[in-house]
Structure 1
Amino acid sequence: MATSKNKKVTSQTIISKYMNYVLENDGYPKSVYRFCNDINIKEEEFYAFFGSLESLDRAIWNAFFTTTIDAMNNNEDYGSFSSRNKFLTFFFTFFEMLTLNRSYVLFALKRYDMPFENLKQLKSLRDHIKGFATGLIEEDNDEKLFKVTKNPVKLFSEGAWFQFLFLLKFWVDDESAGFEKTDVAIEKSVNTVFDLFDNTPLNNVLDFGKFLWKEKTMWN
């Protein structure tokens, strides 16, 4: 293994080695000292990027988000997308990112017996997703002439976060080939949310409800 003397240590290399460590050891390091010793870097190199192992846990999810945003922005056509299509693109791309790292993500989300404890690592990601959703709805609102037709920003951003949690749970439990059911859930849920805001909800809400009921029945 290359030492810190031979290769510059970055936040990305620490994240990569941490994820590999967790999977290869079937568990998390007991301390920063132990982790740094095992991957052959100095503690000060770790602390240059992360204040604790817990902050590293959160940083991994942040990296998933920023990589997703970068990938979308690299698409020349993305800027011309509607808010609906930008939201669809975000979820499709983000869950592709999770799928590439599925072994680690599943391990991380099942770390503790208490579900609430597992959600703590998503704290920063929550802010990122709400911020992304806020930007989309504000963009839509800027195009509307009358205040009464503008959509509530806070409601939309909070809804986006709960929508993500629903899709995350769906993806975790999805055993379909290529996670195609998750793709269907993303499309139906995003279209339903935007149809609700566009005041044309009935058909899609019912369609989405039938889909969820069918999946719930299959799970049971």
Structure 2
Amino acid sequence: MVKKSIITESRLIEFYMDYVLKHNKQPASVYIFSKENNFDEALFYNFYANFNAVEKSIFNEFFKNTLQILTKNDDYETYDSRTKLLSFYYTFFENLTANRSYVVYALNKHKNSLKNLSALQELKKSFLAFIDTLEFETFKIEQETIAKMQEMGIKESYWIQLLLTLKFWLDDSSAGFEKTDIFIEKSVNTSFDLMDIKPLKSAIDFGKFLLKEKMNFKV
């Protein structure tokens, strides 16, 4: 008698990724999937309701693995927000590259419409929660509703940035995906530079000073 496979969430993900890469499609049923991998069908439902839930979980696992790697570095908590985000991107895309065949299978047919792709829903929740932990210097808005809209706008803009980077990586044919690394560096740095309010604050403070002193200039 063949010994049944021990089933954990990570084992199911491993079995699922292996299956779709061999067959280039989802299993026709949980019954077929469980028989091929030698475990009782009922065990599948201890973790997932269907295969779409597995796909959502896989991309979220890439995210969780990324954070685990980052937080194992004792210096990570001393990084500023820009460096934390850059570190996240580089590590996250290293994870994707290690699983590129699956990611290309899962996303390539949707690469021009990733924003509403259901497989990325859990990743989006986790990524936005991560963005929430970063500190961005913005103008302080006293009106609560507008302040919340500002916060949501920042988070959504970074989600779109991640999707754009993902699409760039899918199309990248450079050795070692070095062009994606350049894209990450330039896009993250640009996004932080655009939010840098210090020069604007200085101009406003200078304007206030001029008004206070009632200075008139003739050129």
Please indicate, yes or no, whether the TM-score normalized by the shorter chain is above 0.5: yes
| Structure 2 counterpart of 1:31, from 29, 45, 57 | 29
| Structure 1 counterpart of 2:13, from 15, 18, 24 | 15
Deviation at 1:51, TM superposition (A): 1.2
SS of the residue 2:69 aligns to: helix
> Unpaired runs of 5+ in structure 2?
142-146, 200-219
Q: Counterparts of 1:161 and 1:19 in 2: how far apart (Å)? A: 25
Q: Which amino acid aligns with 2:81?
A: S
What corresponds to 1:194 in structure 2? 192
| Structure 1 counterpart of 2:140, from 143, 147, 156 | 147
Q: Counterparts of 1:168 and 1:113 in 2: how far apart (Å)? A: 8
Aligned pair count reads: 193
Q: Counterparts of 1:199 and 1:57 in 2: how far apart (Å)? A: 40
What corresponds to 1:52 in structure 2? 50
| Structure 2 counterpart of 1:134, from 132, 135, 146 | 132
Q: Counterparts of 2:105 and 2:140 in 1: how far apart (Å)? A: 46
Structure 2 length-normalised TM = 0.80
- Rg (Cα) greater in structure: 2
SS of the residue 2:197 aligns to: coil
Q: Which amino acid aligns with 2:98?
A: L
> Unpaired runs of 5+ in structure 1?
202-220
| Structure 2 counterpart of 1:93, from 91, 94, 107 | 91
| Deviations 1:124-154, CA, capped at 9 Å, x for gaps | 11111111112213xx45xx9x835x99321
Deviation at 1:116, TM superposition (A): 5.9
Q: Counterparts of 2:10 and 2:35 in 1: how far apart (Å)? A: 18
Which is further off, 192-201 or 174-183? 192-201
Q: Counterparts of 2:177 and 2:75 in 1: how far apart (Å)? A: 26
| Deviations 1:31-69, CA, capped at 9 Å, x for gaps | 111111111111121111111111001000010010001
8 Å Cα contact 2:115/2:163 also seen in 1:
no
Structure 1 length-normalised TM = 0.80
Q: Counterparts of 1:126 and 1:57 in 2: how far apart (Å)? A: 13
| Structure 1 counterpart of 2:169, from 165, 168, 171 | 171
Please report the RMSD computed on the Cα atoms of aligned residues, expressed in angstroms: 2.6
Q: Which aligned pairs between 1:113-128 and structure 2 lie closer than 5 A? A: 115=113, 119-128=117-126
Q: Which aligned pairs between 1:204-219 and structure 2 lie closer than 5 A? A: none
What corresponds to 1:103 in structure 2? 101
What corresponds to 2:38 in structure 1? 40
| Deviations 1:86-143, CA, capped at 9 Å, x for gaps | 0001111100000000001001113569846982110111111111112213xx45xx
| Structure 2 counterpart of 1:184, from 182, 185, 188 | 182
- By relative contact order (CA 8 Å, sep 6+), the higher-ranking structure is 2
Q: Percent identity?
A: 42
8 Å Cα contact 1:58/1:124 also seen in 2:
yes
